């Protein structure tokens, strides 16, 4: 079998189906970038070009690519075993990882960990647990979910039922389950008593909505949602799939408003961005409602639940947080990102939104109107940025800048300069 970049491109064009991609346009804007290597926050393509990984490989990467500690953990684990079933069997790495995750939270709070594969399944697990919990604790009428407009919780049917991005979800709306959508905390407060009495849980992305063009929530809102849930006897599901693992400046976003959810969904950065692995954390009271007869069992699982390689690299990632004092190094990096984007002076920059080491730079026409959708302005800028050694992707016309946490301040500044140059060209 030939193995060279031409055949990879050919076989990709002929046989691969890419996510969120219109294949009629695939390859039209020049040859597709074939990524073959990496080093820290840098990616290397098949022609040997180096690019800064400006969106952390779709929001997953934390400590960089080919981190020696993470690589070594995987090699060591391979000498033991890659995967064993978690259905009926324990494994050392999953036990260690569950303990490490739970230890981030005060004793007696989030104390159970259910592993799955990715962000969507972490949310699916929370949804199903929340429903079954009510059935088994004398409130079977609490079947409903409240989510936020323009929310994104993943693409599987259940997670998508909670989503609010109409372009992605409207066509499937009638196939999922109905959820109540609110725009704000004020909206939540206007719901009728009957509606609230039939609600199992509120689901929210804490501090910032990612897919909604990187829109931060008002400061303090998360704590107020928690209070509202407590008053109403409603569970709170936090989707920290994007915000978890240092992204917003603290290990978890919920720590910034000193609250805890009843269900915490983690994925993307859990393995440092190496392997698909997710975790749904929940409380003792929720877990206890599933104890007893066999029919109280949580009948849910996936083939690769608690994969040992995934858990091993997740443990190594948590080690790196400690060894490299990653959280302490974040403020300087956030400052570099803020200053770097501030230095971009261009009439199309409408607004720059931040939350920790996440930024969204929104482009609009000088009149303040959005660019016509068919101009694909965000995509054009990102395409131009490639020539300046920066890879990232837009959400509509908002350019995402979300560097790996290991990036130096100089690298972040350089990436912002590359974006500025791309804007001038596009
Ligand atoms: C990415 C994301 C998901 C979905 O995760 P997948 O691993 O892509 O299934 C869910 N919620 C949020 C907030 C995300 O950013």
Give, for all 426 residues of the chain, the pLDDT tens digit: 557 999 999 999 999 999 999 999 998 888 899 999 999 999 999 999 999 999 999 999 999 999 999 999 999 999 999 999 999 999 999 999 999 999 999 999 999 999 999 999 999 999 999 999 999 999 999 999 999 999 999 999 999 999 988 888 888 888 999 999 999 999 999 999 999 999 999 999 999 999 999 999 999 999 999 999 999 999 999 999 999 999 999 999 999 999 999 999 999 999 999 999 999 999 999 999 999 999 999 999 999 999 999 999 999 999 999 999 999 999 999 999 999 999 999 999 999 999 999 999 999 999 999 999 999 999 999 999 999 999 999 999 999 999 999 999 999 999 999 999 999 998
Say how many Å lie between the CA of residue 80 and the centre of ligand 1.
30
Question: Residues 418, 407: contact at Cβ < 8 Å?
Answer: no
Say how many Å lie between the CA of residue 241 and the centre of ligand 1.
5
Closest-CA residue, ligand 1 atom 8, reads: 119
Where do the domains of the chain lie?
33-62+327-425, 72-323
Which atom of ligand 1 is closest in space to residue 58's alpha carbon?
1
Round to whole Å and give the CA distance between 247 and 32: 29
Long-range contacts of 70-74 (CB under 8 A, 24+ apart): 70/272, 70/274, 70/313, 70/316, 70/317, 70/320, 72/316, 73/312, 73/313, 73/315, 73/316, 73/319, 74/274, 74/309, 74/312, 74/313, 74/316
**Domain 72-323 in CATH 3.40.640.10:** yes
Round to whole Å and give the CA distance between 130 and 138: 13
Say how many Å lie between the CA of residue 392 and the centre of ligand 1.
17
Helix axes 409-425, 377-386, angle to 10 degrees: 120
Closest-CA residue, ligand 1 atom 5, reads: 119
Round to whole Å and give the CA distance between 348 and 35: 30
Contact residues of ligand 1, CB 6 A cut-off: 59, 118-120, 152-154, 205, 210, 239, 241-242, 267-268
Round to whole Å and give the CA distance between 424 and 349: 11
- Which of 291, 286, 298 has the alpha carbon at shortest distance from 133? 286
Which atom of ligand 1 is closest in space to residue 117's alpha carbon?
7
Say how many Å lie between the CA of residue 268 and the centre of ligand 1.
7
Which atom of ligand 1 is closest in space to residue 267's alpha carbon?
7
Token pair, residue 328, equals 């302490």
Probe target for ligand 1 pocket from 160, 241, 275, with the most ligand atoms within 8 Å of CB: 241
Round to whole Å and give the CA distance between 327 and 222: 22
Say how many Å lie between the CA of residue 365 and the centre of ligand 1.
30
- Which of 162, 348, 381 has the alpha carbon at shortest distance from 265? 162
Say how many Å lie between the CA of residue 211 and the centre of ligand 1.
9
Which atom of ligand 1 is closest in space to residue 278's alpha carbon?
7
Question: Residues 353, 215: contact at Cβ < 8 Å?
Answer: yes
Q: From the centroid of its chain, how far is CA 44? A: 23
Residue 8, Cβ neighbours under 10 Å: how many?
Answer: 16
- Which of 289, 238, 293, 284 has the alpha carbon at shortest distance from 119? 238
The gap between the terminal CA atoms of the chain, to the nearest Å, is 40
- Which of 237, 239, 234 has the alpha carbon at shortest distance from 252? 239
Which atom of ligand 1 is closest in space to residue 119's alpha carbon?
5
Closest-CA residue, ligand 1 atom 6, reads: 119
Round to whole Å and give the CA distance between 407 and 403: 7
Question: Residues 208, 217: contact at Cβ < 8 Å?
Answer: yes
Burial class (CB in 10 A: 0-12, 13-18, 19+), 329: middle
User: Buried b vs exposed e over 188-217: b needs ≥16 C-beta within 10 Å?
Assistant: beebeeeebeebbbbbbbbbbbbbbbbbbb
Say how many Å lie between the CA of residue 21 and the centre of ligand 1.
17
Say how many Å lie between the CA of residue 4 and the centre of ligand 1.
32
Top CATH class, 33-62+327-425: alpha beta
Instruction: Kindly report the pTM of this predicted structure.
Output: 0.98
């Amino acid at each position: 079998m030939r193995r060279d970049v031409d055949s990879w491109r050919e076989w990709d064009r002929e046989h691969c189906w890419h996510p969120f991609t219109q294949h009629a346009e695939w390859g039209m804007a020049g040859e597709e970038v074939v990524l073959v290597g990496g080093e820290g926050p840098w990616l290397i393509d098949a022609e040997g070009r180096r690019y800064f990984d400006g969106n952390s490989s779709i929001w997953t990467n934390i400590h960089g690519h080919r981190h020696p500690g993470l690589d070594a953990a995987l090699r060591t684990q391979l000498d033991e075993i890659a995967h064993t079933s978690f259905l009926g069997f324990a494994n050392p790495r999953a036990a260690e990882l569950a303990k490490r995750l739970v230890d981030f939270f005060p004793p007696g709070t989030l104390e159970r960990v259910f592993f799955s594969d990715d962000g969507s399944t972490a949310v699916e697990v929370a949804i199903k647990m929340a429903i079954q919990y009510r059935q088994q604790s004398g409130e079977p009428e609490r079947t409903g979910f409240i989510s936020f407009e323009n929310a994104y919780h993943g693409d599987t049917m259940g997670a998508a039922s909670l989503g609010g991005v109409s372009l992605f979800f409207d066509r499937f709306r009638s196939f999922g389950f109905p959820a109540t959508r609110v725009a704000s905390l004020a909206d939540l407060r206007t719901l009728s008593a009957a509606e609230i009495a039939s609600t199992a849980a509120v689901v929210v992305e804490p501090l910032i909505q990612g897919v909604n063009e990187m829109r931060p929530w008002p400061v303090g809102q998360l704590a107020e949602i928690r209070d509202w849930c407590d008053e109403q006897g409603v569970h709170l599901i936090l989707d920290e799939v994007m915000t978890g693992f240092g992204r917003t400046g603290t290990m978890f976003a919920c720590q910034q408003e000193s609250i805890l959810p009843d269900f915490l969904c983690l994925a993307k950065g859990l393995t440092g961005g190496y392997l698909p692995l997710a975790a749904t954390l929940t409380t003792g009271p929720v877990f206890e409602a599933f104890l007893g007869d066999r029919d109280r069992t949580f009948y849910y699982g996936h083939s690769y639940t608690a994969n040992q390689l995934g858990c091993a690299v997740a443990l190594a990632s948590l080690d790196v947080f400690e060894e490299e004092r990653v959280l302490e190094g974040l403020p300087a990096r956030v400052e570099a990102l803020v200053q770097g984007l501030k230095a971009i002076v261009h009439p199309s920059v409408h607004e720059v939104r931040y939350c920790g080491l996440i930024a969204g730079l929104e482009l609009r026409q000088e009149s303040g109107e959005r660019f016509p959708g068919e101009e694909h302005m965000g995509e054009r800028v990102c395409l131009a940025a490639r020539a300046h050694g920066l890879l990232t992707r837009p959400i509509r016309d908002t350019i995402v800048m979300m560097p790996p946490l290991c990036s130096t301040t100089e690298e972040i500044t350089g990436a912002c300069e590359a974006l500025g140059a791309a804007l001038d060209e596009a």
